[in-house]
Amino acid sequence: MKKILFLFLILIFQNIAFSQNIVVEQVRLELSSRKEAKILIPKSEIKDINVLAKTISLDYPKGEFWLGYVNEKQYKNFLKLSLKHSLYTESYTKALTMATNLSQMSSWDRYPTYLVYDSLMRRFATTYPEICKLDTIGFSVDNRLILALKISSNPHSDIDKPKFFYTSSMHGDEITGYVLMLRLADWLLSNYGIDQRATNIINNTQVFINPLANPDGTYAYGNNSVSYATRYNANAVDLNRNFPSVPNGGHSDGENWQKETLAFMAYADSNEFSISANLHGGAEVLNYPFDTYTSNSQSHADANWFVSVCQQFIDSISPLAPSTFFRDVTHSGYTNGGDWYVVDGSRQDYQTYFKHSREITFEVSSDKSLSTTQLNNYWNYLKGGLISYIETCQKGLQGYVRDSLTNEPVRAKIFINSHDAFNSEVYSKASTGYYYRPIQSGIYSITYSADSYYPKTIYNVNIASNSMNNQDVILAKIQDNLRKTEDNKFLINIYPNPAKDLLRVSLPENSNIFSYSIFNMLGIEIMKGRINDMNTDISIKDLNKGVYMIILGGKSIKFIKE
């Protein structure tokens, strides 16, 4: 009896192994033809969702399974996890009707061919030249254009207004946002001077809209169809895992930075966006930073601001939307990225951490490639939220930082004391000194600092809710504290530097310097005392290790406490 049972178990295990071998061959066949494959992994198989998310491009739950994408390298590593899985294939019975000319886009119930998309973007710029400019972000691997519209009251100049950026479909098969962004651009442009909200946005914000971030993925099987679009780019790389990882900036996905990734990084460098969003599909939820961390391990300093703007977006969804709309991930309709699942190398974290911006990922439809019969419905559901998110640029703190003597602009760091952390501070523009800081209402202490300038802290700055608050600052330049006399001796010297317990101040005769003050790098005075003679020893043993500034007779010298 035991021998029969043993043989029976062997047959079962052999059958399971044989079945999985068939699945492996199916997935590899799919990879050979499309460069990517979708797989379903039973939730019961997954012991650590974050390990899985670092191995493949995890997408979203589908019933009792998780859906994931793999390229050849990812699949090889996935097989080492020994998880049961199956190949996922979709039937394309839904309508993905294409617009083959511009007139067919007028009802917004079709996806454009690539050439119609290109023509539509150009038409926006030529029809509204006073408020719209067509910009080229870069080119894809297959040399398709990556385009953006710049919409503002003066689109041909970099004016001192907050910069806002919408970008969609960096996963090429998630195309609901593609049409939503085209329609949003049309709404803004055609309603300028007619609709008060559209007019206020354009007059007070520089809006950038990139409807299609991954054209090679969307048009993977030719410029005339979005059927069989792929998530990955033409090199089978997931662009939303390909940005420098937080905090060390490395290649967390093991891939070279792609042509598209480099283009977006350069575009962020040249524009310094304050607030942005990238649109995806496959779920209905707003995903705020960080993707790399759970909220318990590393939350953003402005987490309350992110939650507030997410709530405003959800509240702006049309009451005509189904009761289940934006409820398939969380009941609130929003989540911290890492609390959903942890991923490295996302665009959201790159923009937020490395570029000091505020970016949210919008998952706008559970169906990645929404049927064209539903496109108008989804615009009506989401229009209010998409507009309200841009309007957040009309709230917060703005102003100029300038030199106290010359009134020239200063590139300065704007740091909210006892609040900012982990790269959440913002910076003023080098060209004009203008800055904008989105932040939740409240009373704050703010330090403005720049190289070669004395830092300045302004206390009790009251930032009112739902309004733009203005705070201009002038900074005094630090004079050269180590000027030499004609006999090549320093007027003022401090040593040793770095110092451990004692810092000696050496002054020239008749210096008329009788006191000193020591500031930390936030501009807060932490020590002061008397200068009794030409050589004075100051005890600094109670200071924490770090960089400090000593002020002597209006002159400033940095020193390091070991």
**Series of mean pLDDT values for 10-residue runs along the chain (562 residues):** 49 51 92 94 93 91 91 95 91 83 98 99 99 98 98 98 99 98 99 98 99 99 96 98 92 94 96 98 98 96 98 97 96 97 96 98 96 97 98 98 95 96 97 98 96 93 95 87 37 83 83 82 81 86 87 80 86
E strand or H helix at 80: none
Amino acid sitting at position 505: V
What is the pLDDT, as a whole number, of residue 9?
45
Please answer whether residues 84 and 189 qualify as being in contact, where contact means their C-beta atoms are separated by less than 8 angstroms.
no
Q: Which two tokens stand for residue 229?
A: 């679009």
- How far apart CA 303 and CA 289 sit, in angstroms, is 8
What number of CA atoms fall less than 13 Å from residue 10's CA on the CB side? 6
Coil/strand/helix, residue 559: strand
Give the per-residue pLDDT at 93.
63
Question: CA 298 to CA 112: how far, in whole Å?
Answer: 41
d(CA 310, CA 313): 5
For residue 372, how many C-alpha atoms fall within 13 Å in the half-sphere facing its CB?
18
What class is the 22-87 domain? alpha beta
Q: H/E element holding 59?
A: strand 57-62
Q: Please, what is the end-to-end C-alpha distance for the chain in angstroms? A: 77
Total Cβ atoms within 10 A of residue 537: 11
CA neighbours closer than 13 Å in the CB half-sphere of residue 2: 0
Tokens of 308: 């507030």
165: left (phi over 0), alpha (psi -120 to 50) or beta: beta
CA neighbor of 184 nearest in space, from 375, 13, 5: 375
Q: Is 32 exposed, middle or buried (0-12, 13-18, 19+ CB in 10 A)?
A: exposed
Contact 41, 70 (CB under 8 A): no
Three-class SS of residue 547? strand
Per-residue model confidence (pLDDT) at position 552:
82
**185, burial (CB in 10 Å: exposed 0-12, middle 13-18, buried 19+):** buried
| CA-atom Rg of the chain in angstroms | 28
Whether 218 and 142 have beta carbons less than 8 Å apart is answered as no
17 contacts: CB under 8 Å, gap ≥ 6:
none
The Cα–Cα gap between 243 and 245 comes to 6
Q: Three-state SS for 171?
A: coil
Assigned CATH topology for domain 98-394: Aminopeptidase (3.40.630)
Rounded to the nearest 10 degrees, how much is the dihedral formed by the CA atoms of 482, 483, 489, 493?
-20
Instruction: Tell me the C-alpha distance between 425 and 369, whole Å.
Output: 37
Give the residue ranges of DSSP H helices in 253-374.
259-271, 303-315, 337-340, 347-349
Give the residue extent of every domain in the chain: 22-87, 98-394, 396-475, 493-561
How many residues are there in the chain?
A: 562
Instruction: Report the CATH fold assignment for 493-561.
Output: Immunoglobulin-like (2.60.40)
SS3 351: helix
Structure tokens given for 246: 């937080």
Give the integer Cα–Cα distance in Å for 47 and 368. 27
98-394 shares its CATH topology with 396-475: no
Q: What does the alpha-carbon distance between residue 75 and residue 232 come to, in Å, rounded to a whole number? A: 14
CA distance 518 to 524: 8
For the entire predicted model, the pTM comes to 0.83
475 vs 412: CA distance, rounded Å: 9
Per CATH, is 396-475 categorized as 3.30.70.930?
Answer: no
Q: Which two tokens stand for residue 233?
A: 């780019």
Distance between CA atoms of residues 370 and 282, nearest Å: 10
DSSP class of 193: T
> Which residue in 237, 229, 247 sits closest to 290, CA to CA?
247
